[in-house]
Each structure stands twice: as C-alpha cells, then as structure tokens.
Amino acid sequence: MAASPGSRPPWHVLLAPLPADAVPLRKPVGSPEILATPHGAAIAGWKQLTVDLSAGSAGLRVVLVVLDASGQPISASDAVLYRVESPKTGAPDEPAHVRQDSIGGRIEPDGTFRGTCWRTEGPEPLDDKDPQWEMQRSEPSASQISALMALVAEMVRRQPRKREPE
C-alpha cells in the first residue's frame, strides 16, 4: 500500500528539520585503499556526515554533508524516497510508484550553493528490466537553499567529535 504524505513523519519530508535525536555518522569519504593512492591523497582528511532516517514502509530520507580537510562544508544533499499511488488513477490493480525528491550540490567557498533539485518517479517493483522513469529537474529556490544550508549547519553542529582512525 502506498504511503500518503500525511502517513510519513514530519521529518520525512525534503528539507524538514532533523529529529532532535538524530546524530550524523562521521566517516572518511573514501576507503583506506583509495586514500592511499596518489589520487586519494587529494581527499585525505575529507569527511562525510550522514543521517539515514527510515520511516519504515513510508520510506527513507538521507541527508549528506561533505567536509573538506579543514572541516568546512563543501557539498550537501537531502533525498527522500517513498511510495505514491499510481499517477494515472490510483486504482488498486495499478502498480504503486516510487518517488524520490532530492536537492544536492556544491557549497562554494563564499558560502553560495550551486545545485539542482530532482523529482524522479518510476514503477514498483524497482527490479523491472526496463522501468519507465520520469525525471524532472528544477533550480532550487532561495527558500530551498536556505533550508538546505540550515540542515548543513545543524549537521555540522551535531557531528560526533570523536576522531576516527585514518
């Protein structure tokens, strides 16, 4: 059965504030094997902060922030995946669809954001050999960018302070 927006928790909406108890997972952006290569040296010290929020059958939300070696945010994304009724009629014999709403991009050194919003929708089950995906791209609005930057600040504030092994 498809989940309606009302059946999802308030935090399971794109750009919604994080739940009070959400703590980002902090880890290197690459495996030790990658970081040991000449190309990997360029990203040594970079970290990713991730919060995965499951709403059970209502879907999944993932917030990701990448920090450079100095601890400054350089990219961010928020993505929500959930089921919706068929866009045609919603009849019970029609397959449900999966929708992903997302925003992501680069945070420039001056604090501006360059990114894109996407809405992707396709039939369920996801393992169809040739699913008919519909993708809509849009430019983020000023309010969406502001909400994403507030999430970035909150993720950085909540990050664990314990050092990981390099």
The contacts of residue 76 (CB under 8 Å, 6+ apart) are 63, 64, 65, 66, 104, 105, 107, 113, 115, 148, 149, 151, 152, 155
The predicted pLDDT at position 129 comes to 65
What pLDDT is stored for residue 2 in this prediction?
46
Q: What is the pLDDT of residue 165?
A: 52
Q: Which two tokens stand for residue 35?
A: 């970081």
Q: How confident is the prediction along the chain (166 residues), in pLDDT tens digits per residue?
A: 344 556 788 999 999 999 999 999 999 998 999 989 988 889 999 999 999 999 888 899 999 999 999 999 999 999 999 988 655 555 566 667 889 999 999 999 999 999 999 999 887 765 556 667 889 999 999 999 999 999 999 999 999 876 555 4
- Tell me the residue type at 65: V
CA distance 62 to 60: 7
- The conformation of residue 131, written as its DSSP 8-state character, comes to -
